[in-house]
Chain A
């Protein structure tokens, strides 16, 4: 999985308990900006579509504030290790389960089926 410099952990965030992991403003960060142009992958587009459709006014299943709460509820180590769209996905999954839209069991069962289909190909 490709990791970029933006997933480095600022030293004062890693040490101190005083800040949540996503509260990055003003923390010291040695990383330089990476200006490499980046076209969205299929996975990234699919997550973008999923998350934003769920927030659309006429669908309104996971609103932007809920989405953000989902991302901010991820375990800090997970938050730091995931790529941007992986965080979005795991955040929205958390909210869908919390709200009872889907259950973990539903998702696990479907994942099993998907893996079988993948292997059959």
Chain B
């Protein structure tokens, strides 16, 4: 069990460069103290370890929407994979990306078409396919987005600079702790010559939440 030798650097922040002698840091606020108290107790009792914590912090520092983008580009270029992704996104993502999300919440991929545009919200909290898209942006967690998107999607989308033509139906889907969504944006015109990795580089986080569409490519 990890014991007291951890304490000296434990109450420096994890990202601190200082090995302990250190210029005095600002005192922790009330909530940071609560987090530290809980963390220390859980580590001392062997319920979590410092190593697990470091690994997780490293992962969130490194997380981006690139994994989601690779799924989208693959679905655009491989018809079989597209069908697998639409049928069982969690299984298809696990197999293709070699990441383990099978024990996480269910995942559904929703394909935007010339008739239907999908947008994801979590009205109750902030459920989001973090394994594929990274940490959710602040606006996704905001009371304004959570309350308004289901009621007035076109005006909320307008705030993102996104104008969906009136003849395209907008379907807003509400995530839960047990079910997450990934939007497959429409492939931009003018990208026929691009390979899968080039295509993946075009796919943005916002387009996979459904708050933006990908711009056409022209030459």
| B189, CB-defined interface residue at 8 Å | no
Would you list which residues of chain B between 137 and 196 have a CB under 8 Å from chain A? 137-139, 141-148, 150-151, 156, 159-160, 174, 177-178
List 9 contacting pairs A-B, 8 Å CB cutoff, sorted by A.
A5-B142, A7-B143, A34-B144, A42-B32, A48-B135, A59-B48, A86-B31, A93-B38, A114-B11
Contact with A along B43-87 (1 / 0, CB 8 A): 000011000110011001100000000000000000000000000
Q: Are A65 and B177 in contact, CB atoms less than 8 angstroms apart? A: yes
Q: Would you call B27 and A118 a contact (CB within 8 A)?
A: yes
Known A-B contacts A50-B35, A107-B41, A114-B33; the reply to A101 vs B47 at CB < 8 A is yes
B-contact bits for A76-103, CB 8 A (1 contact / 0 none): 0000000010100110110010000110
Kindly count the residue-residue contacts between A and B in the assembled complex, taking CB atoms under 8 Å apart: 170
B123 touches A25 (CB 8 A): yes
Q: How far is the CA of A72 from the CA of B57 in the complex (A)?
A: 26
B92 at the interface (CB under 8 A from A): no
Q: How many angstroms between the C-alpha atoms of A27 and B151 in the bound complex?
A: 8
Interfacial residues, chain A to chain B (CB-CB below 8 A):
1, 4-10, 13, 22-29, 31-38, 40, 42-43, 45-50, 52-54, 56-57, 59, 61, 64-65, 67-68, 71-72, 84, 86, 89-90, 92-93, 96, 101-102, 106-107, 110-111, 114-115, 117-118, 121
Question: What's the tally of chain B residues with a CB closer than 8 Å to chain A?
Answer: 56
Q: Is B126 an interface residue (CB 8 A)?
A: yes
Please give me the residue from chain A that is nearest to B148 by CB atom: A29
- In the complex, the answer to whether B35 meets A68 with C-beta atoms within 8 Å is no
Q: Are B28 and A114 in contact (CB under 8 A)?
A: yes
B37 within 8 A of A: yes
When distances are taken between beta carbons in the complex, the residues of chain A under 8 Å from B41 are 102, 106-107, 110
Please name all residues of chain A whose beta carbon is closer than 8 Å to the beta carbon of B35 when the two chains form the complex: 43, 46-47, 50, 89
Tell me whether B60 and A107 are in contact (CB under 8 A). Answer: no
Indicate if the CB atoms of A8 and B123 lie closer than 8 Å. Answer: no
